Amino acid sequence: MRIATSMIFDAGVASINRQWSQLQHLQQQVASGRRLLAPSDDPVAAARALEVTQSRDILTQYATNQQNANSALGLAESQMSSLNGMFARLKELTVQAGNATLTEKDRKSIAFELRARFDELLSIANAADGQGQYLFSGFMGATKPFAGTVEGGVTYAGDDGQRKLQVSATRMLEVSDSGRDIFQRIRSGNGTFAATYGTNNVVVGPNLGSGVIDAGTVTNPAAWVAPTSGAYTIRFSVTAGVTTYQIYDGATALLAAPANYTSGQTIRLEKTTAPAADYGSQVVITGAPADGDGFTITPSSSQSVFASLGNLILAMEDDLATPADQARYQMEIGSALINLDQANDNFLRVRSMIGSRMNELESLGNVNQDLQLQYQQTLSNLQDLDYAKAISDLTRKQTDLQAAQQSFARISQLSLFNYL
């Protein structure tokens, strides 16, 4: 084969260029600290690195959502904490209002503070975040949830939705609660039934007694049977100085015959006629009911905390001219105490749920940190440079380039023309 001088020069230059290209690639790797400068360097590793990078970016978004969720829940938890503190004061004021030695001025002074607390409660229920979204309006974040007064009552303009954020691949976390669930869906009475004075006791007249009924006790929840008429009624009769009572479900007496009444005695809700039945509950009535007086026992239903507090305020602002007025007032106080306790228990339930979600976010955050570390290690193994090997290769390539340059310089002088 005939070797032309041009072939010698072309081969030498190509070899030097190839050595320069490899040396430059190694220099760029050392300068950047990356093994993969282009997908062609390692197609399999480049594809895997892309998958890991996408997974890491998704995880980063989950971490951002977790921070946003934690912020939203923290705001709600702060408001619920304020409610718990406020209700401790409400209960203190209500107990104070039940003191029989208070004057009308004292009662109205307490009522004045309770009105301020009512406004504070309304303000908390209408709390908003830094972006103007109301915390307790469900999905309707731009809608002010509650509006109203003590006299006119409070209405809810939101819905029952719970806003959610995707905080992991498999978890949509609730970051808000419905105001209706927090402030309106509160069980009245003792949670099973509510006891209060009957219609006759409200009518002003000299024959009204001073009987007061307590909140009642459920001794056996499994035995409780709700009244078919909507309410049980304890009706009193006074004949020749003897007070008796009967318990009715609508027009039907549960007790077969009138029973003698003694102030402070336990009255069981039961049916003595066949088939006899014990309804697993009881009430205590104190004082002296008048002839025709009655007390009603209705199954517990949802009652707004605003209604409970509003009824208490209005009762405290009423005049107490007669013993019957005093009796009704004491029942209002007793009813308010138990309803406020029910409301506070509901607030504690919601606060507990918020706390459990925040704990879940903390656990998810720890998992995210572990996954981020794993992804970073995987990317490092796929992309990062082994400096010891790279510097060794760089030194070797420098030697190869120098050898190519020196050998070309010698071979390029072997032309026949140099000897003619």
- Extents of the domains making up the chain: 5-33+385-419, 53-188+341-371, 198-300
Which are the contacts of 226, defined by CB distance < 8 A and separation ≥ 6? 299
- At position 28, the amino acid (one-letter code) is Q
The gap from C-alpha 324 to its chain's centroid, in whole angstroms, comes to 44
Helices (H), 194-322: 199-202, 305-317
Give this prediction's pTM.
0.77
- The pLDDT of residue 204 is 40
- At position 312, the amino acid (one-letter code) is L
Which are the contacts of 302, defined by CB distance < 8 A and separation ≥ 6? 184, 185, 186, 187, 188
Q: Give me the CATH topology for the region 53-188+341-371.
A: f41 fragment of flagellin, N-terminal domain (1.20.1330)
Q: Which two tokens stand for residue 203?
A: 């009518």
- The pLDDT of residue 132 is 86
- CA dihedral 129→135→138→144, nearest 10 degrees, is -80
Which are the contacts of 341, defined by CB distance < 8 A and separation ≥ 6? 91
Cα-based distances in Å from 314 to 153, 191, 210, 307, 351: 12, 23, 20, 10, 29
- The pLDDT of residue 3 is 59
H or E element in which residue 77 lies: helix 43-97
- The pLDDT of residue 247 is 92
- The pLDDT of residue 378 is 76
SS3 414: coil
Contact indicator for 145, 137 with CB cutoff of 8 Å: yes
- The pLDDT of residue 207 is 47
The tens place of each residue's pLDDT in the chain, 420 residues long, gives 565 566 656 665 666 667 666 666 666 666 666 666 555 566 766 667 677 778 788 888 999 999 999 999 999 999 999 998 899 999 999 999 988 888 889 998 999 999 999 999 999 999 998 888 999 999 998 999 999 999 999 999 999 999 999 998 888 999 999 999 999 999 998 999 999 887 555 444 444 678 889 999 999 999 999 998 889 999 999 998 899 999 998 878 888 788 999 999 999 998 888 888 899 999 999 988 988 888 999 999 898 999 999 999 999 988 887 888 888 888 889 899 999 999 999 999 999 999 999 999 999 999 888 888 887 777 666 665 655 665 666 567 666 656 666 666 666 666 655 655
Backbone angles phi, psi at 38, to 5 degrees: -150, 150
Partners of 248 in the β-ladder = 233, 253
